[in-house]
Amino acid sequence: MPTLDSISGTLRILDKYDFSFQKRYGQNFLIDANILNKIVEGAGITKEDTVLEIGPGIGTLTQYLCESARKVIAIEIDKALIPILGETLSSYDNVTVINEDILKTDLNAVASKYNEGRPIKVVANLPYYITTPIIMGLFESDAPIKSMTVMIQKEVADRIKTGPGSKDYGALSLAVQFYSVPEVIANVSPECFIPKPNVGSTVIRLTRYEKPPVNVRDDRFMFRVIRAAFSQRRKTLVNCLTSDSGLDLNRNEVADYLNRMGLRSDIRGEKLTLSQYAELSDLILDR
């Protein structure tokens, strides 16, 4: 079995298959054994776990996961990597590789087929350009996900942890607050990848709440409101919400809701807390 957790091992397999990195997929392969171990340990993988890995690449992290988990489901969008994974994972009988786009994958069907509908753990080295859609998609999928341990751009990790009023505060910050408890596992240097990214990375674990910290009638509708609120950051919340035709709101309505919440009509979306967004979305639904 090829050894992948080094520059030489990675280059050897890439050269064998004449593989070319695809910018559109944001491919950066891990080559640091210490970080790979930290990811698996941080995710708390045991022999009872079924793991969903997003973007296995050439299978470096996948090999580590296969050693620790009961079952690994690896979803890879780049079909050029499928034959490589066929070789690098050939020694493992507890892995299934699926050539699909994670944003189009029915995760409930995956959990049902491979884990009898029981909670799965997600582990991923996420492409930086599509981190937010993937994390939001996982949260909103209603799939039985126990936790996500993901490698993301350090700036995104900082954004996840920020609070109201910050320029980095947004829909992703609120989603993480609503759905999970975040914990930083490790900060990762560009030197740990091939090719080297231009930014630092962070491994973060998001452990799902059994029950969200705020009560809201319809969480999907709340995040629809939140996305609208942050769609034009320089505009007031009233302007943002009334500009979203799907919400079908007028200025007087939104101003009235804010007044009932004790908020000024010229407030911006970045000033509201998660509980205030829950209250606002419930008021809108009460129309």
Considering the domain boundaries, does residue 251 fall inside one?
Answer: yes
Q: How confident is the model at residue 1 (pLDDT cuts 50, 70, 90)?
A: low
pTM over 0.75: yes
Which of 179, 208, 237 delimits the end of a domain? 208
Question: 20 with 150, same domain?
Answer: yes
Is the same domain home to 88 and 185?
Answer: yes
Query: Cβ distance 230 to 170 under 8 Å?
Result: yes
Helices (H), 116-193: 131-140, 154-161, 171-179
- Both tokens of 212, joined, read 């969200």
Q: Which amino acid is present at 185? A: I
- Residue 267 tokens read as 């407030």
Q: In what order do the strands lie in the sheet with 50-54?
A: 95-98, 71-75, 50-54, 120-125, 145-153, 201-208, 180-188
Question: Average pLDDT of 10-16?
Answer: 93
| CATH at residue 196 | 3.40.50.150
> 137-187 pLDDT, tens per residue?
999 888 999 999 999 999 888 888 777 877 778 899 999 999 999 999 999
Locus of tokens 């990675």 = 10
Torsion angle of the four alpha carbons 187, 45, 49, 176, in this order, in degrees rounded to the nearest 10 = -30
Are residue 97 and residue 200 in the same domain, yes or no?
yes
pLDDT of residue 142: 86
